[in-house]
Structures are given as C-alpha cells and as structure tokens.
Amino acid sequence: MRSTEIDERFLNRELSWLAFNERVLQLASEPGIPLLERAKFCAIASTNLDEFFQVRVAALKDQLIAGIDQPTWDGRTPAQQLAAIAVWVPEMIERLDDAFVDHLVPELRAAGVEIIGWEDTTPAERVELDDFYEERMFPVLTPLAVDPGHPFPYISDLALSLAVNVADPETGDRRFARLKVPDVFPRLIECSPGRFLPAELVIGAKLDRLFVGMVVENWATFRVSRNGDLTVEDEEADDLLEAVEMELRRRRFNQAVRLEVAADIGDEILDLLVRELDLSREDVTLHRSPLDLSCLSQLMSLDRPDLKDTPWPPATAGRIAAADEGDRPIFDVVRHRAAMLHHPYESFSSSIEEFISQAADDSKVQSIKMTLYRAGGDSAIIRSLMKAADRGKQVAVLVEIKARFDEATNVQWAKQLERAGVHVVYGMVGLKTHSKVVLVVRDDGDQLRRYVHIGTGNYNSKTARNYEDIGVITCDPDIGADAAQLFNHLTGYSRAHDYSTLLVAPRDLRRQLLDLIEHEASFGAEGEIVMKCNSIADDEMVEALYAASEAGVRIELLVRGICCLRAGVPGMSENIRVRSILGRYLEHSRIYRFKHGNVVVNGRLPGAQSDEVYLIGSADLMPRNLNRRVEVLVPIEHARHRAWLDQAINFQLADGIVCWELQPDDTWQRMGPTDVFAPHPQEQMYRWAVEQQTPPRG
C-alpha cells in the first residue's frame, strides 16, 4: 500500500458524506420531530448507506483491483479511504440500531404503533398470519438449495434473503438453502391494527412448510450490495440506448461490495456467505434492526396525523393564481414580467406542470424543447410532451439515460416519447446533461417569443413535493437566445458559443465562478460571498474560497451534504462559515450570490441598479458538475426575485435556528434549541412564502 501524507487543508469526500449521513441519522433522535417522521429518517439513512456502498465504496474497490493507488487531493489512497470507512460504518450502524431498536420501537409502542416479533403475536393474529402466508406468501417463495447438483445461487442487488441450514433426519446430511423475500407483498405485515410483523419473520416461522420432512437447524437474514456503476463507453457505442440497456442487464451481476446480516447470525452461515460472495469479514455489517429499514416508510401511510408533521399545503404563486382566476395563460403573466417559483413552498403542479401542459394545448405554441434528468414514474410532464407531439408541435427532449439508478426508467420514457413522435436525444457523448431547462417557442402575434424555464430541480412531480428547489420562467430575449443555442448544441452538431447571459458547464462555468470569487477577493473585507448548494468537493473552488477568506471576504456557505472545505481555521478559512440545513424538505436549490460580481458574468451588467450578482441553476461545486456535465446557471435580475432569494438565505443564516455548523476541528455541531426542532428555517420560509401570495408578488 502506498504511504501518503494527509493534506490538512481538505476534508475527504467519502468521510464528509458519512458525516452528512450522520446528520440525517440524528434527525431520527430529535425529540421535536414526530415519531413516524423520525422513523422515516431511519429509512433515509439506511437507503443513503446502500447507495454509498453501491457507488462510492464500489469505486474504491475497483481502484484497488486495478492497482490504482493515486491519492485524492486530501492525500488518502483508495486503501486508506476504505480503511477509514470500515471503522466509521459499523459505528454508524450501531447508532442506527440504537435510534431504532432502543428508542423508536418502544416510543412507537407507547403511541400505539408496534413492530413485533413472531413470539409477540397473539393466537388470533397467528391464525390471520397463517392464512396470509398460505394465500399470499407460500405460492411465490422459492427455496434454492446448495449441493453438488445446485451451485450457490445468484443473489441480486439489495434483495432481502434468508439463509437456512437444514438437515435430513434419515441420512444426517446437512444442506444450505437461500430463500429470497419477494417484494410482491408488504415488508411490514399488519397482523392487527397498529401491529406490524416483518415479512421475513413470518417466513422464518413457517420454514417447515418449505422444507417438508427436513429439520430446520437455524436461519438468518442477509442482504447483498453490489457495484451499481454503469460503464458505458459512449464514444465507442454505435447505439447509446442499446448500450445502456445492455449495461443495465450486466449490472445485475456486478461484484458484491457489502454483506448485511442479522447480528445473531451463526459463524457457519456467515463463513459460507462470505466465501461464496467473494467478500471478507471487513465487508460484513451486523445489524440488530431489521435489514433494509427503508420499509419504515410504509408506516407513513398510517392514519396517525398526531405522529406526523403538520401538513404544509403548497401555495400557488400569486401572479399565477391571479392569472388562473382571470383565465389567462401563464405566457401572459411571464410576458409582463418573469416569474420566479420556489418549490415545494409554491406548487409545482400549478406552475411548471401547468406551464408545459398549457404549451401542449396552446395553438400558438410551435415548439417545445427540454432536458429530462430524473422524470420519475407517472409523469404529467411527459404526458403533456406526448400530447404536444400528437398535436403536431415540434417537440425535442434530451433524456439523460445515464442518470444513475434512473437509467431503466429513463430508457422506458425515451422509448415512449419516440413512439409518440417526440424527437429524443439520449445525452451527449462523454457528458451527462444535468441542466434543468425548458424552451417554448410561441407566436404571440406581434412576434415569436421564446419562453424559458431554468431551475435547480428535476422535472419530477414526486420529488418536487419533498425537494426544495427554485426556478424562473422568463421571455427575456437574451436568455431565450442562449437557451436556443444551448439546445442546438445539445441536439445537433453546433459548437458551443459564447453565451451572453447563461453560465454553462463544462466549457465556461468553472472559469466564470473562479473569476467571481477572485473578483470578490479584490474587495477585501468589503467583499461577501454566499453559496447555497448540495456539495462542495472541488479543490480549485476550495482553494479560491480559502484565498478570498484570507483576503478578508466574508463567506457564508450553506451546504447540505458533502463539504471538503474546512471552516473557521485560523490563517486559512477564519472568514468562512459552513452550515447544513436538514429537515422536512431536502435542500436542493443552488444559489450563488456575489456582492461585487457585476461586469464579471459574461462581460455584461446583469443588474444595472446593483453591483450584486445572483445566480441559480443546476450546478454544485464538484468536479463532475464543472468538468463532466452540462450544467446551466442563470442570473436573477428582478429586484423582487432577488429579495425573495435574500429572504430564503437570511432564514438559513439567522442566529438561534436549528442547523448544523462545521467546526474548525471538522466536526458538525448541532445549533439551536435541543428540546424542540424550532425555530427551523424551512417552517419560517413556508409561512413567509404563503404570506407573500396576497397581494401577488413578482
């Protein structure tokens, strides 16, 4: 193993992600959060960890196998990172088990929601469970034996399974069998009102029905995480869609990277699983909780409002609501003045979905172009696009079929759109298209106008209810012209040109952001930078922020997840404060504000009445966003829209709120009252946003 020196100027990306998931897990123990919401955060932390192993740990293991020992810019080799992860993850799982088993389970029981074991069931419940097993479970269970005639079966990624040891009472032969827990029935079976039994415990109690005449010696649950990477050499692929579909089939058989097992598993079964899956004991995690706590999300369907967050119904943005009352299309609203939208405080369905629906129905609309990164399942937007094509409009959609873990969904949407007559592009060679842009061309009578939506979030109605995102709909001629050139570049063969308004990666965005940071540094203590994003993990950006801090610039960073920058370190980052806001909504918007940014962005004056520059868009400060993705940021120029962004930022930077702050010793400290989950900036933002709808705002 290569010996390297850790660079104390940077935090490791993978360990920073684990610190983020620790913050998510802390929400499961917050006394001010309702019980079922706390259970949901256990589910989220569990699912996050799955993806971490499928993507990040898998990538590090691939580097080891390939003999790559190049350290990351924090100085750690792949082997050193894996060693640190191997120490951190078991401790995280122990805290997850403690939050769920030792605290949530008894607290839920006291509130009338029980997660029980087979031994806790009543005679009446066992009668019901017997019937459920015979009718719904037994017919779909398939035990797979391992013996000289039956090799060890393939274990699919993230599938929950039972490992069973059985013995023949006549011959004394002992055999191992694997039994997959199908997902065709609920994972948590409600055996009586408010009492839930995990499905694997029902199956475990009924193993004699599957192994008739055999003695079931012992059994345990287990689960395998596999490498989730999709390797598509799109430069060499003749048909990118076909190449992605082939890789999706191959991915099922990728290398196992983690084995989760019940804490009480026997050594005999564990040794067999480790051996057959080609893993080591270091790849095993032991759990007292049921494996795969994502099942806890099922409890959110219970009719227990007392155990859930008070609903925050989204408002319809004031000007759109007023237009709807007057039966005016959104185009009329935007032609008067651009509309900025803040989801989920403001409704996604009555704004973005309605905008695209109206475009599909409007006889004056001639063409619709858009990018789709994660559209989700049942999509009103995609239905509108297909309707538009059916009505003879020119519709072109760039579907990013390499969006991780959404590849299969996006492939299916791409095929449906093509069958409906939509012109579909599958992304760009060598790049992912992560930008969120819609371009609608409409004949307004006096002229053709381009109406553009640019946002920070996906065109996905499901995530729009839980992800905090911002977007703007405008018919600004410069933005429209830039958007048209962007789509020509994405769908055709035109070369990237100099955009007059938009900031676009990968060609220009890195340089432009660095110019803005360096320009702000020239103002010393008069300078101010505010950045709100999901992650900061680019060394060049971090170094530029350090230099600005040393020049005296006040820097406020709102970073939900990964942050490789160290905060508040004397002589390096004493003028930088980093906060992480976690709560009901997933903070997903990207906002970049520079106090003296004027004349730096594309050589123009984005705000004639102010030196300040406000940018929103799809890009985080990570190498993948700046180097390997098509990203778009747009300046926000209207005074009311800037004031809205200021208010959103101010709520999150205020003193006394619930948040986490990165300390000079690299730990994250929870701030605000500890006995309640308030004041919380998301609740403050919601109540303020609702108040702004009367009278209508810009």
Catalytic positions, please? Answer: 434
CB count in 10 Å sphere of residue 608: 7
Closest CA to 195 of 117, 295, 134: 117
Using N-to-C axis directions, what is the helix angle for 35-51 and 13-26, rounded to 10°?
A: 160
Evaluate whether 477 touches 447 at the Cβ level (below 8 Å).
Answer: no
DSSP letter, residue 601? G
- How many angstroms separate the CA atoms of 571 and 475, rounded? 46
Least Cα distance to 367 among 395, 392, 397 occurs for 395
Run of H or E residues at 635: strand 629-635
Torsion of CA 327, 333, 336, 342, to 10 degrees: 160
Q: How far is CA 613 from CA 453, 473, 499, 525, 638, in A?
A: 19, 18, 17, 18, 11
Through-space distance between the first and last CA atoms of the chain, rounded to whole angstroms = 59
φ/ψ of residue 123, rounded to 5: -55, -40
Write down the residue that tokens 């937007």 correspond to. Answer: 381
Cα distance between residue 239 and residue 363, in whole Å: 35
User: What is the Cα Rg of the chain in Å?
Assistant: 27
Edge-first strand order for the sheet with 114-115 is: 114-115, 195-198, 188-192
DSSP string of 403-472, one letter each residue: STT-HHHHHHHHHHHHHTT-EEE--BTTBEE---EEEEEEE-SSSEEEEEEEESS-S-TTGGGTEEEEEE
Neighbours of 543 (CB within 10 A): 16
What 3-state DSSP class applies to 328? coil
Q: State the Cα–Cα distance between residues 49 and 85, nearest whole angstrom.
A: 11
Local structure of 201: helix, strand or coil: helix
**Which strands make up the sheet holding 256-262, listed edge to edge?**
143-146, 174-180, 160-167, 215-226, 256-262, 284-287
The contacts of residue 599 (CB under 8 Å, 6+ apart) are: 605
- Residue ranges of E strands in 268-387: 284-287, 339-343, 365-372
Strands 195-198 and 114-115: parallel
For residue 623, the number of C-alpha atoms closer than 13 Å in the C-beta half-sphere is: 7
- Quick count: other Cβ atoms within 10 Å of Cβ 21? 22
Per residue, what are the HEC states of 382-405?
A: HHHHHHHHHCCCEEEEEECCCCCC
Closest CA to 56 of 526, 624, 594: 624
Q: Which residues contact 273 (CB under 8 A, 6 or more apart)?
A: 163, 222, 259, 261, 279
SS3 (DSSP) at 695? coil
The Cα 632–Cα 507 span in angstroms is 11
Residue found under tokens 């918007």 = 589
Using CA atoms of 617, 618, 624, 629 in order, give the dihedral in degrees to the nearest 10: -100
